[in-house]
Amino acid sequence: MDVEVHIDHESRRVHLRHEGAPGLQDFVEYIEKYWSDDRLYGYDELVDLQRAEPRALSHSDLLAIAQRAHAVDGDSPIARVAVVVSTPEAQELADFFAAARDVLPGSRREIGVFGSMEAARAWLDRSA
């Protein structure tokens, strides 16, 4: 899997692009590296999964990712995560992840799932 991360400190946004087949460990490593970084607390995220193959992730994996992300949130300011997908299968998995995050008490991230980068950016820009 190919991962590209760009941090824009001016707009307080992290842009993550996945290609290939991301697995549970890929997302856990990303969360631990970037969500645990105090300098990035409160940054919104744009997660581009348009070229990713979601088949490597199960619902159990997504629940584990949501729980790990929740544990790392700590006292960070509330931030938004826009997930961009390109297939119905990816949409279903991203919606499941968003729902899993929503039911965890004290969640510090609002998750939105979108079919285009334009819609995702517009949603993130509303919080700026």
Would you state the pLDDT for residue 86? 94
Pairing verdict, β 109-114 and 13-20: unpaired
b or e along 86-106 (b: 16 or more beta carbons within 10 Å of the residue's beta carbon)?
Answer: eeeebbebbebbbebbeebee
Region of 92 please: left (phi>0), alpha (psi -120 to 50) or beta.
alpha
pTM for this prediction: 0.89
What residue spans define the domains of the chain? Answer: 2-127
Would you state the pLDDT for residue 34? 84
How many other CB atoms are there within 10 angstroms of residue 19's CB atom?
Answer: 15
Average pLDDT over residues 55-66: 89
Say if residue 100's pLDDT is above 70: yes
Would you state the pLDDT for residue 105? 83
Tens digits of residue pLDDT in 12-47: 999 999 888 888 888 888 888 887 888 888 899 999
Instruction: For residue 87, report the phi and psi dihedrals to the nearest 5 degrees.
Output: -135, 155
Would you state the pLDDT for residue 107? 80
pLDDT band at 128 (very low <50, low <70, confident <90, very high): low
In CATH, what class is 2-127? alpha beta
pLDDT band at 1 (very low <50, low <70, confident <90, very high): low
Who contacts 42 (Cβ-Cβ below 8 Å, separation ≥6)? 12, 76, 77, 78, 79
